[in-house]
Amino acid sequence: MNKSTSFYDDPNINLVDPGDWDASKSIVAQIKNAILSVAEIDLDDITVEVPNEMSHGDYSTNIALQLAQKESANPRELAERYVEALNKKEALKKVVDTIEVAGPGFINFKLKSTFLLDELQNIITNDDFGSNDILSEKRIMVEYAHPNPFKVIHIGHMRNVFYGESLIRILEAQGAEVIRTNYQGDVGMHVAKSIWGMMEKLKEEGITFEDLSKRTLEERMAFIGKSYALGATAYEEDKAKQQDIKDLNFMVYAVAQKDEMQKHGWDAKVKYIEFVEHEKYSIEDVEKFWKEGVKWSLESDHIFYNRVNSTFVREYMESETMYFSEQNIEKAKEKGILVESEGAIVFKGEEYDLHTRVFVNSLGLPTYEGKDLGLAPMQFNDYGEIDLCIHNVAVEQKEYFKVIFKVLELLNPEDYAGRSYHTGYEFVGLKTGKMSSRKGKVVLAQDILDEAKAKISELIKDRDVDNKDDVAEEVGKAAVKYSFLNISPKTYLAFDLEASLNFEGNSGPYLQYTFARANKITTSNDEILDLDNLSENLNEQETMVLRLLTRFPEVVIEAGKALAPNIICSYLFEFAQAYNSFYKHNRILDEENEQIKNTRLVLNQAAKIVLAKGLDLLGIETVEAM
């Protein structure tokens, strides 16, 4: 049978048995085992899914459609035979109320209300509801964010940061220990162009580097942004200036190599030092511009990370990879993995149905590929043994990472085989119109968040809400984050700020408003909830909320299987709609029947808990009132 390949069943990684994911879904596992006892099929081939329409039940399987040809039977008739046999399974019938045939041969399962009410108590009493131990004792490093020093975080970086942050939280919910890292390009032509531009702009403005250092961080970063634009233009339009920038590039590498030599006592060929003498630039100035520029860039980046609640235990820099890069490139050459070609060092990937890629260019400088060979030993050793390193990088780098992983595997299979994974995301742009930006064509991350906050401030200015500025900040961030996470990471994102701010549509503010509504009822009620006095006679809205509440742990598992936060988003929106329908059609605080009132208050409390947990997995904060 053809099977889709996702994170959980990717044959190139060795993390846990793919069957462990569904085995952790207690009801799904029970239904699968019951089917296994009545049909001739492998357990891994049994599909049990949640129907698109809840009127069809809580779970559904197409097992009869799968096996009809093999059994030489009509699919519906075969399904009816299976249903008859399944209804005799006493253990299954303790949790399943009805098993019915639908359509051409689907089998639908509806859970007992008593089982659902037991799960409702579990939500209230179990602080870990929604979490599991599928990845317990697994140590996973997630490398994400990747803004380069000398540049400012823009709209494209936002998708990387928001997606990476949510992935980490989803993996932690599966029991994994996650190590948060960043990897940034602090050497290369973009740095040389920026430094050249900075030197030129200082002369134009008639100020010194020390004068620049006294400006605010925002002013310094604006200066660097303009400097890069100046350097990039000069590189393209003036050959003499292009050569100066190339020389600066070597000088930056020289400074970086000096630091690595001092750190490691590296006794290797000093390739770059011979380029440091330059009639226009001193090595001391280059070092000053480079190190301070990196420092300012990181300070600016951290302001954004703090604002969106993302953190890292380590921020690796490309300049740090040189020592290990040199070692691994030499080892790979000795093993014949990398070979010399036209003055460069390359991996010829045709033998493995991969691209040929350059690891050291003809100038003797390591490429991105070469630096990744130096990054790997640090990532796999700096924090003890890890089971998997996930690289959160745009989908365009898919073939690139195939080469990197193959070279590492050939270099040292024991350390690297099956322990690296690339999760990709598509590009992002604006759906319509323009957004304000302080730096021209690039749409900056902070500008997007500022504009979202300003628009939310306007929307809530007349509402009875305390701490309006804080609420506007959190709701604005929720609007942007949810908009980025609400579609598959593999799909191009056309960001629409106005749509993201909608309080009534499929949006972050809508979910926060739903939480605030549930929170208002909780804080308005002084009675102690009685979990032993729940009504089994639930109406349509109550039943819908209850069934969706109990499904949350399986949604978390599905999001982990696919590394897809959008699965969480879809669930939360469906649940919020169900809760708001329940809220609209049912009295809660003024319900006269004490048992019904108590049951609705318990449902409300559980709704609040699940909404908060779901939003947290997306990196979104709740607000108590809106």
Query: Model confidence over 537-581: pLDDT tens digits?
Result: 999 999 999 999 999 999 999 999 999 999 999 999 999 999 999
Q: Mind giving me the DSSP string for 530-559?
A: -TT---S---HHHHHHHHHHHHHHHHHHHH
CB 455 within 8 A of CB 497: yes
DSSP 8-state code for residue 151:
S
- According to the model, what pLDDT value does residue 4 have? 54
Average pLDDT value for the chain: 93
pLDDT digits (tens, 9 = 90+) for 309-331: 999 999 999 999 999 999 999 99
- According to the model, what pLDDT value does residue 351 have? 93
Record the pTM. Answer: 0.93
Q: 556-594: b or e for each residue (b if 16 or more CB lie within 10 Å)?
A: bbbbbbbbbbbbbbbbbbbbbebbbebbeebebeeeeee
pLDDT at 506 over 60: yes
Residue type, 483: S
pLDDT at 436 over 50: no
**Coil, helix or strand at residue 504:** coil
- According to the model, what pLDDT value does residue 53 have? 86
CA distance 142 to 220: 31
What percentage of the chain reaches a pLDDT higher than 90?
86
pLDDT at 267 over 80: no
CB 325 within 8 A of CB 262: no
CB 303 within 8 A of CB 347: no
CB 49 within 8 A of CB 108: no
CB 148 within 8 A of CB 184: yes
Strands 357-360 and 344-347: antiparallel
pLDDT at 59 over 90: yes
pLDDT digits (tens, 9 = 90+) for 163-214: 999 999 999 999 999 999 999 999 999 999 999 999 999 999 999 999 999 9
Q: Is 101 left (phi over 0), alpha (psi -120 to 50) or beta?
A: beta
pLDDT at 358 over 70: yes
Burial classification of residue 601, based on how many CB atoms lie within 10 Å of its CB (0-12 exposed, 13-18 middle, 19 or more buried): buried
- According to the model, what pLDDT value does residue 437 have? 41
CA distance 216 to 213: 8
pLDDT at 433 over 60: no
Strands 96-102 and 106-111: antiparallel
Domains belonging to the chain, first-starting first, are 19-111 (3.30.1360.70), 189-303 (no CATH)
- Residue of 568, 570, 550, 571 lying closest to 560 (CA atoms): 568
CB 559 within 8 A of CB 567: yes
How many CB atoms lie under 10 A from the CB of residue 5?
9
Could you tell me where the beta strands, DSSP code E, fall in 103-191? 106-111, 139-143, 177-184
pLDDT band, very low/low/confident/very high, at 431 (cuts 50, 70, 90): confident
How many CB atoms lie under 10 A from the CB of residue 357?
20
3-state SS string for 60-74:
EECHHHHHHHHHCCC
**Coil, helix or strand at residue 381:** coil
Q: Which residues are CB-contacts of 312 (< 8 A; sequence separation ≥ 6)?
A: 145, 180, 181, 182, 305
Q: Mind giving me the DSSP string for 298-325?
A: HHHHHHHHHHTT---SEEEEGGGGHHHH
Degrees to nearest 5, angle at CA 67 with 64 and 70? 145
Q: Which long-range contacts (CB under 8 A, 24 or more apart) does 295-303 make?
A: 296/217, 296/220, 296/221, 296/224, 297/147, 297/148, 297/149, 297/150, 297/151, 297/221, 297/224, 298/149, 299/217, 300/152, 300/153, 300/217, 300/218, 300/221, 301/145, 301/147, 301/153, 303/217, 303/446
CA distance 382 to 392: 19
Segment among 266-270, 391-395, 523-527 with least mean pLDDT: 266-270
pLDDT digits (tens, 9 = 90+) for 328-341: 999 999 999 999 99
